[in-house]
Amino acid sequence: MILNLLVGLGVALFGFVLQTGLAGFNRKIIGRLQKRHGPKWYQEYLDIFKLLSKKSISHGWIFDFGVIMALGGIIGTAMFMPLTSTFLAFENYDNFFIFVYLLAVGMLGMAMSASGSGNPWASIGVMRALTTMLAYEVPFMIVVLTIIKISGTSSVAGIQLFQQAAGNNWFIIALPLGGIVAVLALMGMLGKKPFETYIAPAEIASGPMVEYGGKQLGMLFILHEISVFIEVSLFVHLFLGGATNIFIFIVKYAAVYTFVNLISNVNGRFKIDQVVKFFYKWPLLMAVTQAVVAIYFGWVI
């Protein structure tokens, strides 16, 4: 068990390092897209360590405790994530629902701490984040229901092995409507424009992060990087067939994250009720149609 925990911590650390480097690299790509030199590729590391070295303020014990609980929950979730179809810290225990709900612990901790700062912008930001979560989760979970029913297992490593078996396609090809819904839900999960309502720097003064500075903000940035790692890895494992070795995983991961970033960079931002209306119209309809087609009629490509 101790070995499993250490391997899990190694997975979380690897995810953090990978995502932070990739995020800095993406800032450079976006900069080139806008005809300028972007920042250095290791800029995100500098940001996080600068924040960890500042001396900041605190509004009480719940302010600090919420940040610790949030970061703890996310590190715990990352410890379960399989990197390839055979390398994971806890065999057989990486259920899909564990990822969804432990991410919710992270969000609850951050929400508690943000509201505990006493600023109304923070509570409004948390309200918007929760409403966005309500919007994108339901279509996403319907698509994953279809995947679990078809592959017969809800373990993420098991779903990868199912897709890698001969004669099966990746689920993004086998369930095309579901794949489109999953990309939209992924953009909602990562908080990328047009679903960036919960941060919205110009509207609600950066939402939940309004009273953070110094080490709490640094820990929140670490939380954000690790949760991006978890969500993009879930997408890679569930829809793109996972990977058999670590280099293919890194290539697929970088491709998905850069693709989502490029789409989000040319979009504006939705209002919060537009987000809910958007997700409950076509994505929900597509997800349900895909589920009916795949489960009842059995038409899987």
Partner 1 sequence: MASIEYLILFLVGAALLAYLLSKFNKTAASIFTIFATMFVFASLAGYGFGMNLVETVNVLPGFTFAQTYLGFYFVIIIVFVYLMVSFFHPYYIDTYKYKDSYNFLFLLSLAGIIGAFYTNNFLQLFFFFELIIWTTMFLIPLGKSREAAVTYFGFSVAGSMSMLLGIFMIFQQSGTFDISAGLAGISGTNAIFVFALFLIASFSKLGAFPLHIWLPIAHGNAPHPFSPVLSGALVKLGAFIGVLALVRIAPATGLFTTINLPIGQYIVAVLGAMSIVFGTLMAIKEDDAKKLLAYSSMSHGGYILVAFSLLDSIALAGGFYHILAHALASAGAFMAIAAVARATGTTKMKELGGMIHKMPITYLAYLVAIISMAGIPPMGGFISKWLIFQAVIDKGLIFIAVAVFFGSIGSFLYVFRPLAALFLGQELTEYKKVKEAPILMLIPTFIIMGLNVYTGVFPAGILKFINNIISELGFVPITITTFEITGYNGILNPAVISLVFGVGILVAFIIFILLKKSKKVTLMDTYTAANFVHDEHLLHYTTDFYAPLERLYEKQSNWMTKFYKALAQKVKDIGKLGKYLFMSRSIGTTVLWIIGIIILLLWGEVL
Partner 2 sequence: MKSTKFTPVTKLSKEEVDRKWWEIGDFFRRNSLWMLMYCTGCCAIELPPAMTSAYDMERLGMGPMATPRQADILLVSGYLSLKTLRRLIYTYEQMSEPRFVVALGSCPINGGIYHDSHAVINQLDQYIPVDVYVAGCMPNTESVMNGFVDLMIKIKNKTAVGWKNYHKNFEWYKENQLNSLGEVVVHDEFHQ
- Judged by CB under 8 A, which of 1, 3, 37, 167 binds partner 2? 37
Residues that bind partner 1 (rule: CB under 8 A) add up to a total of 88
Angle between helix 120-151 and helix 272-279 axes, rounded to 10 deg: 10
Buried (b) or exposed (e) across 75-103, using 16+ Cβ within 10 A?
bebbbbbbbbbeebbbeeebbbebbeebb
Is residue 240 within a helix (H) or strand (E), and if so which, with residue range? none
- Judged by CB under 8 A, which of 54, 149, 271, 277 binds partner 2? 54
Q: Is 169 helix (H, G, I), strand (E, B) or coil?
A: coil
Instruction: Report the phi/psi class of residue 267: left, alpha or beta, with left for phi > 0 and alpha for psi in -120 to 50.
Output: beta
Residue 261: closest CA among 37, 48, 24: 24
Shortest reach from residue 115's CB to partner 1, in Å: 4
Stretch that binds partner 2, among 91-99, 186-194, 210-218, 254-262 (CB under 8 A): 210-218
Cα–Cα distance measured from residue 28 to residue 43, given in angstroms and rounded to the nearest whole number: 9
Stretch that binds partner 1, among 16-24, 64-72, 169-177, 241-249 (CB under 8 A): 64-72
The dihedral of CA 46, 52, 53, 57: what is its sign? positive
* Spatial CB neighbours of 257, under 8 Å, sequence gap ≥ 6: 19, 22, 26, 228, 232
Which of partner 1, partner 2, none lies near 299, with the C-beta cut-off 5 to 8 A by kind? none
Burial class of 299 by CB neighbour count within 10 A (0 to 12, 13 to 18, 19+) = exposed
Q: One symbol per residue from 169 to 208: x for binding partner 2 (CB under 8 A), - otherwise; what is it?
A: --------------------------------xx--xx--
Cα–Cα distance measured from residue 290 to residue 140, given in angstroms and rounded to the nearest whole number: 12
Interaction between residue 212 and partner 2 (CB under 8 A): yes
Interaction between residue 211 and partner 1 (CB under 8 A): yes
Stretch that binds partner 1, among 33-41, 148-156, 165-173, 239-247 (CB under 8 A): 148-156
Which of partner 2, partner 1, none lies near 212, with the C-beta cut-off 5 to 8 A by kind? partner 2
**Contact between 49 and 219 (Cβ < 8 Å):** no
- Judged by CB under 8 A, which of 21, 72, 76, 213 binds partner 2? 213
- Judged by CB under 8 A, which of 216, 227, 261, 264 binds partner 1? 216
Shortest reach from residue 208's CB to partner 2, in Å: 11
Which of partner 2, partner 1, none lies near 147, with the C-beta cut-off 5 to 8 A by kind? none
Shortest reach from residue 108's CB to partner 2, in Å: 22
Stretch that binds partner 1, among 21-29, 49-57, 234-242, 253-261 (CB under 8 A): 49-57
Interaction between residue 60 and partner 2 (CB under 8 A): no
**Contact between 242 and 232 (Cβ < 8 Å):** no
Q: Which residues bind partner 2 (CB under 8 A)?
A: 27, 31, 34-40, 43, 46-47, 49-50, 53-57, 201-202, 205-206, 209-214, 217
